[in-house]
């Protein structure tokens, strides 16, 4: 019956500690990789390294002073082709993406520098085709409403499971006021809802972009606190008591 003791993290049996530890380590690493992915994608939306309010605005509301093509060529895709080729594509987009210029001037550049990825990697627009290229050459209005709906339900379902199991493990932690523990467990869920809501609000108005960053910081701090506390109480706290 000793293996079924679940009164606190330090009293768990070794197999259960191993299970919880493996999960928390993988989830912690996954959250770090998610942060890196955000910095390397959304974080380059304004053409500068690091996540900023402008990055959030450009990602969801768009840069309505120019096209998505221009934004990418001045940002994360800047080094994928020579400067002269980028300028040719930007000029073509600014002048209305005239289909007459596609075959003689634009398509050769796209085929040489862009098609190797865009024509073969699922999820990327196949800009080797004129109709797809004209879409990204249009004025950038940010993420489409349909894209927001698809990504929102994926995040809500997927990340909620992560926070559920992190919170479940942390619920066996000791030394916390029950109200404080309950608030800490609920906090990531609240910030997740705020994060998703902020995407939609920012799509409608750029002034809400700050909420995306606030929400991300909020659930990162709360989940990190629960992960680190759980690992400490499972392994370090019992070891210190023995020594």
The pLDDT tens digits for 158-196 are 999 999 999 999 999 999 999 999 999 999 999 999 999
How many helices, marked H, and strands, marked E, lie in the chain?
11, 0
Mean pLDDT of the chain: 89
Count CB-CB contacts under 10 A for residue 231: 19
Q: What is the mean pLDDT of residues 108-130?
A: 86
DSSP letter at 106?
Answer: I
- What own/partner pairs with CB < 8 Å and gap ≥ 24 does 237-243 have? 237/10, 238/10, 241/10
Using CA atoms, how far apart are residues 125 and 141, in angstroms rounded to an integer?
Answer: 16
Closest CA to 188 of 153, 223, 236: 223
Write the CA distances from 174 to 79, 121, 182, 211, 231, integer angstroms. 52, 48, 12, 32, 12
pLDDT at residue 6 is higher than 70: no
- Reduced to 3 states, what is the DSSP secondary structure of residue 67? strand
Using CA atoms, how far apart are residues 90 and 53, in angstroms rounded to an integer?
Answer: 24
Using CA atoms, how far apart are residues 186 and 196, in angstroms rounded to an integer?
Answer: 16
The pLDDT tens digits for 47-60 are 676 788 988 998 89
- Reduced to 3 states, what is the DSSP secondary structure of residue 147? helix
- What's residue 172's pLDDT? 95
């Amino acid at each position: 019956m000793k293996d079924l003791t679940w009164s606190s993290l330090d009293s768990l049996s070794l197999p259960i500690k191993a299970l919880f530890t493996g999960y928390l380590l993988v989830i912690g690493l996954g959250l770090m990789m998610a942060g890196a992915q955000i910095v390397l994608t959304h974080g380059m939306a304004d053409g500068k390294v690091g996540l900023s309010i402008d990055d959030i605005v450009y990602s969801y509301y768009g840069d309505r002073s120019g096209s998505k093509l221009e934004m990418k060529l001045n940002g994360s895709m800047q080094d994928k082709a020579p400067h002269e080729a980028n300028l040719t594509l930007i000029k073509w987009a600014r002048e209305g993406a005239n289909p007459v210029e596609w075959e003689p001037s634009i398509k050769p550049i796209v085929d040489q520098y862009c098609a190797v990825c865009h024509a073969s990697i699922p999820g990327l627009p196949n800009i080797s085709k004129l109709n797809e290229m004209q879409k990204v050459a249009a004025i950038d209005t940010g993420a489409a409403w349909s894209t927001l709906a698809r990504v929102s339900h994926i995040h809500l379902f997927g990340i909620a499971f992560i926070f559920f199991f992190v919170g479940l493990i942390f619920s066996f932690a000791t030394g916390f006021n029950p109200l404080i523990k309950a608030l800490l467990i609920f906090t990531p869920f609240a910030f997740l809802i705020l994060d998703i809501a902020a995407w939609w609000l920012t799509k409608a108005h750029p002034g809400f972009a700050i909420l995306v960053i606030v929400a991300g910081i909020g659930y990162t701090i709360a989940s990190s606190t629960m992960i680190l506390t759980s690992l400490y109480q499972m392994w370090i706290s019992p070891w210190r008591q023995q020594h």
